[in-house]
Amino acid sequence: MAVEAPKSKAGLEDVVAASSSICYLDGERGVLAYYGYDIHDLARGVSFEEVCFLLWHGRLPNRPELGDLQSQLAAARPISEPLLRLMKQLPASDGMDMLRTLTSALGQYDPEAGDDSQQANYRKAIRLTAQLAGIVATYGRLQNGGGPIHPDPALGHAANFLYMLKGQRPNALEARALDVALVLHADHELNASTFVARVAAATLTDLYSAIVGAIGTLKGPLHGGANADVMRLLIEIGPDAAPEKIDDAIRGKLARKVKIPGFGHRVYRTEDPRATHLRKMSKDLGERAGNPRWFRMSERIEALVKSEKKLNPNVDFYSASTYYTLGIPIDLFTPIFAVSRVSGWTAHCLEQYANNRLIRPRTDYIGPSYPQTVLPIDQR
């Protein structure tokens, strides 16, 4: 007689699959925290580099530690000639395909590729975080007909990304807006891509392979990409659309059961705490640029969807207009998600390596009853 396995839950919803000290979520109260630090406090007063240190070490850095990390990121940020040649040789493709391929190639060129010690893996986490940002920015620049730009060691991580992408140094508000977005996206507990990274790390594969798996998972439209869909929706309605036209367009989609991207969340039952900050960034950037129309459209759509469907915006909704106002191409929206989340992915891998047990769940078998009789081929 077969032994009955525990019953499954679709999508593993609310199933606890790991113990972690990194990220705390409370969907009922709308709480997101990294190592106990509330996301609102981090977004208001901490840089992305400080958040990286926090995720990797479990505490915020002091000034010398932050300076050391900034120096290591700066040293790792330039794109090597072999990687640049490979980037140029790849056929035109989705930005996530490019990022997946080049991240795998990074592992081939890492001088510590064969060293899986804790210290070497930490240095790889720094290199991955620095390099993914440079890869995405350089790819975006090449796609728009520009030439690669060497990073400026005097600029921070977010400012360097915008500089390498656009060819001009961002102003303080632009740099801060992207920095806040990176802080907000850095980790989110055991989401799909982080789970894949931890499963891979649990096999004791190398860190690059684990991150390639996470990138491939993030590419899936049910995980990453919603902010790109939000921006396409805003453009479809039209930047100069009258308020009534915006309402009619959204109501029409709702009547046809078309999902409005950027609303609702698997965990949060209140407003996504990350959306709170991105809403403000979208507003401030639009006003500074003299182009508040994308924010105003978004604000009107939010009010309508909340009224009609009782859904709150998630992290993707206002990040769309934030990125677009920063001059970031839509096809880079999901890769930028990876530029931030690689800090969390690597943190989870380092945590998994430090106290490892192979992740091997079971399935709820729903196939034919056991045992089946094998008939001779002529009797089938």
- Would you please indicate which residues are annotated as catalytic (active-site) residues? 265, 316
| Cα first-last separation, the chain | 25
Instruction: For residue 263, report the phi and psi dihedrals to the nearest 5 degrees.
Output: -125, 145
Tell whether omega for the bond before 371 is within 30 degrees of 0, i.e. cis: yes
CA-to-CA distance for 144 and 165, rounded, in angstroms? 9
Q: What element of type H or E holds 31?
A: strand 31-34
Residue 143 corresponds to which tokens in the numbers above? 């796609």
Spatial distance between the Cα atoms of 201 and 224, rounded to a whole number of angstroms: 21
97 vs 7: CA distance, rounded Å = 36
Confirm if 262 and 226 have CB atoms less than 8 A apart. yes
Bridge partners, 24 (sequence order): 33
Q: For tokens 């290199």, what's the residue?
A: 127
- Report helix angle 333-354 to 207-218, nearest 10: 140
